[in-house]
Structure 1
Amino acid sequence: MEPLQSQGSMTDRATSALRSAILRGDLEPNTLHAVHTVAESLGVSRTPVREALIRLAAEGMVRVQRNRGFVVLRHSPRDLVEIFSLRLLLEVPATRAAASLATPDDVAALDADIARMRDAMAADDAELFLREDRQFHRTLLSISGNERLTEFVDSLRNVVLSSGVSTANRTESIGEILEPHLELLRLVRDGKPTEAAASMHEHLVSTGHKLLTQEFGDEAAASFADALGAYEA
């Protein structure tokens, strides 16, 4: 990790640096990491690192072990099922609201997100593509007007990505991941809230199923399908 610069809140900057390191896979899951080692690599005292870890623990990304250090959490099939269940409960109705409320400026913002996803796809940069994918979802959810929901869903994505879990260029190509986002953009632009909600539901169920199959096998994916059977669009 790069040393932090002095501007801004050290706790905020330490939180951002640690979160990014976890999502990049720089800090190995299920391994005890020392606070003082991380603080030294960031060029800060231990206090902002400890405060950052409290925030990341609340997001479900780490577990702090008092007077020992912290562990980046590697999540189980049950964790992923619960996360996608929450995303269905939140993102589907939020997408319905967004499609009802979207202004031309909102649609332009989504268009810009898609353009950046296309650029990342053209460069075959899966990491950049996933960042832009994430921004598309943030933009879409923010159109619903519920910023707490937007931030909470983003934190759920942190929990998944902290395990190094993604289907990009593994279970599916970047182009295949792009397709449901193009559909969502079209439905929001056309002002079709019911269809947009159904599209988000299908997108999340498909992504969750592929992740569970990829990481834990067919049996875990079957349990995912059973658990989500009650969640309608």
Structure 2
Amino acid sequence: MALKRTSLPRTAEAVALAELRDAIVRGDLPPGTPIRQTTAAQELGLSVIPVREALKTLAGEGIVRYVPQRGYTVTELTPQSVDGIFRIRELLETEAEANASERLRPEDVVTMRAALEAQRAAVRGADAQAAIATNKQFHFALLDRCDNEWLLKFIRQLWEALEPHRALAYRRAAAAGDAARGEAVLREHEGIVTAFEAGDVPLALRLLAEHRTEGRADFHRLLSVDGAAG
């Protein structure tokens, strides 16, 4: 375990949820890691009850998995689950992006551009946590303009389920000195934001769909590495 209490939300459960989520996304608790409730509670200076409730929330989001008699572990992906997540993302995000693009303001496109430049610095500086955060900022600068809050809720849940694995992919690429995919993502994002800047919404939406396809391929490559390593 590698938890640390870095913030003070209003409730003990909110503390536990924020810190567990951050530790998983940072990669301090990689996929497959068991999470012992008593150990986590001790490290966070909390009782077991808020930690248990936080783990139930994370299990509902698909970030951790509960097995009777064995407890909680950080979720490991399978090729089938990757395909399932990306199929649902395709359905939901296609609608959300089309909806949001009708409401996209010039300042939102400026936000996308700023997120891309911050992501560029993070990728080239091998800062995995910042690269993940700015990647999400880029996409949600558009998605947050969607006026269907339920659609956005489910999209966010799917993104959260993939974050630990995205962090693992960034760290492995950085350790191997492989900047190719990071640079490819930057190029894809550049094409998307440039299309929005030019007012070419159909092109931007097509590039977003292609970007999702490449993202699914990335996760399959990550799983193939896991399989080879195992």
Distance 2:21 2:38 in 1: 17
Determine the structure 2 residue equivalent to 1:142. 144
RMSD: 2.3
The answer to whether the Cα contact below 8 Å between 2:77 and 2:223 also exists between their aligned partners in 1 is no
The answer to whether the aligner puts 1:166 opposite 2:174 as a matched pair is no
Which residue matches 2:211? Answer: 203
Q: List gaps (5 residues or longer) in structure 1.
A: 218-233
State yes or no: 1:92 paired with 2:100. Answer: no
CA apart distance, 1:7: 4.6
Query: Does the CA contact (< 8 Å) of 1:35 and 1:46 recur in 2?
Result: yes
- Counterparts in 2 of 1:71 and 1:138: CA distance versus 1, 3 Å: same
- The residue type equivalent to 1:39 in the other structure is A
Q: 1:82 is paired with a residue of what secondary structure?
A: helix
Alpha-carbon distance in 2 for matches of 1:24, 1:124:
13
Divergent runs of 4+, >4 A? 4-7, 65-68, 167-171
The amino acid that maps onto 1:98 is: A
Deviation at 1:68, TM superposition (A): 5.3
Counterpart of 1:53 in structure 2 is 55
Percent identity of paired positions between Structure 1 and Structure 2? 30
* Pairwise CA distance, 1:23: 1.7
**2:5/2:19 contact within 8 Å kept:** no
Amino acid at match of 1:200: L
2:223 to 210, 215, 219: 215
Q: Check whether the contact 1:171–1:210 (CA below 8 A) recurs between aligned residues.
A: no
C-alpha separation in 2, matches of 1:131 and 1:32: 25
What TM-score does the superposition give when structure 2 sets the normalisation length? 0.83
Q: Unaligned 5+ residue runs, structure 2?
A: 226-230
Q: Secondary structure at the match of 1:150?
A: helix
The TM-score normalised by the length of structure 1 is 0.82
Aligned residue in 2 for 1:74: 76
